[in-house]
């Protein structure tokens, strides 16, 4: 079976198919943004392994990804406080990446739940 090679070009093609996503830069690296908010970018912090992608996800989703496939997903101390997971591009498939970027898109574009209206006391 041929090795499946995912590059940032693959990331860009998948990401740009999502509504409102634009190619951009962040922290001096190639990135994808939606509504001006960072969706994913090449992981540039030196704590990240070469060939890694940083993808924005909520903490619960990150914990599930890390538990499900630690060969693909990881986090370093630098990224731990942020809503982000690191992805080894050499170990992810385009199909899984498509799902992950869709998850990130939902996370970045969701609006804060409106506060419940306060009842007036009589």
pTM: 0.86
Asked if the model's pLDDT at residue 1 lies above 80, the reply is: no
pLDDT digits (tens, 9 = 90+) for 7-44: 999 999 999 999 999 999 998 889 999 999 999 999 99
Contact 16, 28 (CB under 8 A): no
3-state secondary structure the chain: CCCCCCCHHHHHHHHHCCCCEEEEEECCEEEEEECCEEEEEECCCCCCCCCEEEEECCHHHHHHHHHHCCCCEECCCCCCCCCEEEEEHHHCCHHHHHHHHHHHHHHHHCCCCCCCCCCCCC
Range 8-109 has CATH code 3.90.1150.30: yes
pLDDT digits (tens, 9 = 90+) for 64-122: 999 999 999 999 999 999 999 999 999 999 999 999 999 999 999 996 444 444 444 44
**Residue % of the chain over a pLDDT of 70:** 87
- Domain borders along the chain are 8-109
């Amino acid at each position: 079976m041929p090795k499946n090679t995912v590059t940032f070009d693959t990331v860009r093609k998948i990401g740009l198919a999502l509504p409102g996503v634009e190619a951009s830069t962040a922290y001096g690296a190639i990135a994808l943004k939606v509504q001006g908010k960072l969706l994913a970018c090449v992981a540039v912090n030196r704590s990240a392994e070469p060939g890694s992608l940083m993808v924005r996800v909520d903490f619960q989703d990150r914990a599930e990804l890390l538990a499900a496939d630690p060969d693909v997903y990881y986090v370093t101390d630098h990224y731990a406080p942020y809503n982000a997971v690191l992805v080894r591009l050499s170990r992810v498939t385009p199909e899984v990446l498509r799902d992950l970027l869709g998850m990130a898109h939902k996370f970045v574009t969701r609006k804060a739940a409106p506060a419940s209206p306060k009842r007036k006391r009589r």
